[in-house]
Amino acid sequence: MQITTTIKGDQSMRGDHVYYNCGAYSHHGIDCGDGTVIHYTKSSGRISRISWADFASGVTVFVKEYGQCDTPDVVVWRAESRLGESAYDLFKNNCEHFATWCKTGIQVSEQVRNAGAVGVGASGSGAAVAGSLGVVSAAGAAAGLSGAGVMSGLATVGGVVGGGAVAGIGALGLAPAAVTAIAMNQVLIDDETLPDNEREARAVGRTMTTVGALAGTAGAVGTVAAAGSVAGLSAAGITSGLAAVGATVGGGMVAGVAITVAAPAAAAAAVGYGAYRIWQWLSE
């Protein structure tokens, strides 16, 4: 729900968790229902009470909705109990930590949690892709990342799951996709304090993350089959297809392997988060 900056001193807003967007982050506070807001400022590093107008500063202010939270009196009492505190910490005790604690008694910042999950997911997926290239290089009868080495490595990896080079492409994509799925599950984690529609949207997003990973694997294999000068999934078709995929970024077969291995992870994130946002929109 969003509100305009013309609302001041509205008792119906007493105890609301209010926030506004600042581009890459958002700033949070607790509306006291008397024309003031208590918030934790990064600039002064202190919890203070300011007027509604000073908090809003001419921007659009939003109210964070909760499924379960404490009464307005408890929320405002908590906020007032920490007035004057000067222990700001971006990662452990920021304005969102404070506002969420006032509402629920639990100190959480979704901004911090999501940033951490995305960072771990991105670095973990990148490391998994690099590791996959190392496996391809070392696993086959022909070592290295020459055309023969890549095909031999993919065939060896695929053989572990009862397939060939095509199965190898799919198997190597599992690790980056799994890392991404774990990160997305943290971003879209269930929380009983959230409204039912938000919890449903997050559940849909988590499910569709897995669907996206599977679709990304199928799409990557299909692209390899269709992209090369030799169509299909024969050895020549895979070699040709990987080279064509790699050429899109100025590389060869190795780049093609990296792209196809990373594709399930990218699709998992895009489909999962996209489904979450669409469900949110449909639930409004």
Q: How do strand 17-21 and strand 61-63 relate by DSSP bridges? A: antiparallel
Between CA 242 and CA 160 the distance in angstroms is 21
Summary mean pLDDT of the chain: 89
- Distances from the Cα of 178 to the Cαs of 172, 261, 264, 267, in angstroms? 11, 12, 9, 12
Per-residue confidence band for 10, with pLDDT thresholds at 50, 70 and 90: low
DSSP label of 24: S
Is the pLDDT assigned to residue 7 strictly greater than 70?
no
What's the confidence (pLDDT) of residue 223? 93
* Tokens matching residue 196: 């039912």
Nearest to 187 by CA among 268, 133, 82, 77: 268
Parallel, antiparallel, or unpaired: how do β-strands 17-21 and 26-31 relate? antiparallel
For residue 9, pLDDT over 70 is answered with no
Please give the structure tokens belonging to residue 269. 């994130």
The span from the CA of 111 to the CA of 42, in Å, is 15
pLDDT tens-digit map of 233-245: 898 999 999 999 9
Select from 87, 91, 96, 89 the least CA-distant residue to 119: 91
The CATH label, of 1.10.10.10, 3.90.1720.10, 3.20.20.190, 3.40.30.10, for the domain at 2-105 is: 3.90.1720.10
- C-alpha 32/C-alpha 15 separation (Å) is 6
| CA–CA dist 210, 220 (Å, integer) | 15
Separation between Cα atoms, residue 279 and residue 173, nearest integer Å: 27
Task: Write down the pLDDT at residue 5.
Answer: 43
CA torsion through residues 202, 195, 1, 92, sign: negative
> How does 206-236 read in b/e, with b if 16+ C-beta sit within 10 Å?
bebbbebbebbbeebbebbbebbeeeebeee
Question: Residue 2: its pLDDT value, please?
Answer: 42
E strand intervals along the chain: 2-3, 17-21, 26-31, 36-41, 46-51, 61-63
Q: What's the pLDDT score for residue 45?
A: 87
Query: What are the residue boundaries of the structural domains of the chain, listed by start?
Result: 2-105, 111-283
Query: What mean pLDDT comes out for the span 65-77?
Result: 95
Q: What is the pLDDT of residue 117?
A: 83
2-3, strands of its sheet edge to edge: 2-3, 61-63, 17-21, 26-31, 36-41, 46-51
Give the whole-angstrom CA distance, residue 105 versus residue 87.
18
Per-residue pLDDT, averaged over 34-49, amounts to: 91
What are the structure tokens assigned to 183, written together?
């990160």
Distance CA 63, CA 273 (A): 22
pLDDT in tens, 241-281: 999 999 999 999 999 999 999 999 999 999 999 999 999 88
The radius of gyration computed from the CA coordinates of the chain, to the nearest angstrom, equals 25
What pLDDT digit, counting tens, does each position of 158-199 carry? 898 888 888 988 898 888 999 999 999 999 999 999 899 999
- Terminal C-alpha separation, the chain: 10
